Amino acid sequence: MMLQAREELAELSGLIDLIYKGATEPGCWDTTLAALSDYVEAPYAFLHTPLHPPDAGGYMYSRQIPAGIFENWPRFLPHDIYAKEGLVQGRFRDGVVVTGEDILPREQFESSIFYRDYLAHYGFCYMLAGIVFGNEHSDLLPTTCIYYRGPEHAPFSENQRRRLRLVMPHLSRALGVMQRLRNADLRIAASRAALDLLRAGVLLIGSEGEIVFANRRALRLIGEGDGLKIRSHAKGTDRLSASDAKAQQAINAALLAAISPEVLKTPHFAQSIPVPRYSGRAAYQLSFSSLSLENEFGTGGDMPRAIVFITDPEQPLSVDAEWLRGTYGLTSAEAKAAIMSMRGDSTARLAAVLGISVNTLRTQLQQVYAKTGTGNRARLVRLLISLSEVE
């Protein structure tokens, strides 16, 4: 029994390093997803952002999924009984692991259009799903990792559910890092120079908790002297320091967990640490994650072991309307509509705020898409976010 437990722990450790590799090398996710599928004993899997297709900033990785699944998905989306019931039951929350049988009785599922006319045609019968990120975040795309078995297999067991729970926090950290490192063109900032173009403050942390790199945004935030600072350590290294003692303890624990992650006990990426500020303004939010043993940000003894993101809720994104008019030839109304589109409100709500009709707003946005070469609202927002942060 002990030998079996050691072998499983060794398998899990190798899998977790594969997961963290995907944070800076998205091309690895197909291989990683195959390993995850083997770990939970499922022949079919996909890891995706269900509300954001790849052409709208999301991503999709799959294992042995027939192309027809994705081609027919829009037609059967209104019949997705799992999604409907899951929403009603409040299942779409960070870290939730659920089987199809948890959501609704087997008989009800098998009699549904979603199963009879869609999933059954591709040999999908039993489902195991993990909610990597729910829909409550403004800066993280909702993400799910879903596994299927065919009717010739048994339903997923409690052991497979347990295994998925073990990897979920690591998935959240790797995918959280990947999302934060993507720029407006969806490329990964995989060098220290590229990190300077990101909207968030970024610190790379060495094996002993020392700061080995800080991007410009991080240096600017820390330089405000409003609750965070860089402290010189006795060993001649720099450390991240918070003025609030409780926040400092939380930072120390988070750094230790990121540098030497416990395989069986790792916090979810969305569990950020608030750092109070002297000014009384909204607290800085710090997110921590491990990096793969081999990553793009260093070599040899200079290889960072963890990454920290620092965000400031008090600094909303802003874009210069005059610059937009001069650069893209937008009218004043079009520039205003473009900037307002970053709020994330519905078209009807934006039209009401702007005091114009929905049809007028749609016409203005179509002109904006054409002049900026973005084509849709999601791409426009990505462009504006990058323009608001690059200096």
Give the E-state strand segments of the chain in sequence order: 44-48, 60-63, 97-99, 126-133, 143-149, 201-205, 211-214, 228-232, 238-242, 273-275, 284-290, 306-311
Task: Please state, in angstroms and rounded to a whole number, the distance separating the CA atoms of residues 338 and 319.
Answer: 10
Task: Kindly report the pTM of this predicted structure.
Answer: 0.78
Judged on CB neighbours under 10 Å (0-12, 13-18, 19+), 13 is exposed
- DSSP, residue by residue, 276-300: --TT-SPPEEEEEEE--SS-TT--G
- Provide the pLDDT for residue 391: 40
**Per-residue confidence (pLDDT) for residue 211, from 0 to 100:** 95
What lies within 8 Å, CB to CB, of 276 at 6+ separation is 227, 243, 244, 247, 283
Provide the pLDDT for residue 390: 41
CA-CA distances (angstroms) from residue 175 to 8, 132, 181, 382? 24, 8, 10, 18
Least Cα distance to 212 among 203, 221, 222, 200 occurs for 203
Average pLDDT along the chain, 391 residues, taken 10 residues at a time: 61 88 91 95 93 76 88 86 89 94 94 94 95 83 94 95 94 93 71 83 93 93 94 84 96 93 82 92 93 84 90 74 84 89 75 89 91 79 63 40
Half-sphere exposure of 2 (CA within 13 A, CB side): 0
Beta carbons within 8 Å of 111's beta carbon, 6+ residues apart: none
* Nearest alpha-carbon partner for 133 in 170, 94, 165: 94
Residue 359 DSSP label: H
N- to C-terminal Cα distance for the chain? Answer: 58
pLDDT score, position 260: 87
CB 168 within 8 A of CB 47: no
In the chain, what's the furthest Cα-to-Cα distance?
71
In this prediction, residue 53 carries a pLDDT of 74
* 138/82 Cα distance (integer angstroms): 24
Q: What is the pLDDT of residue 344?
A: 62
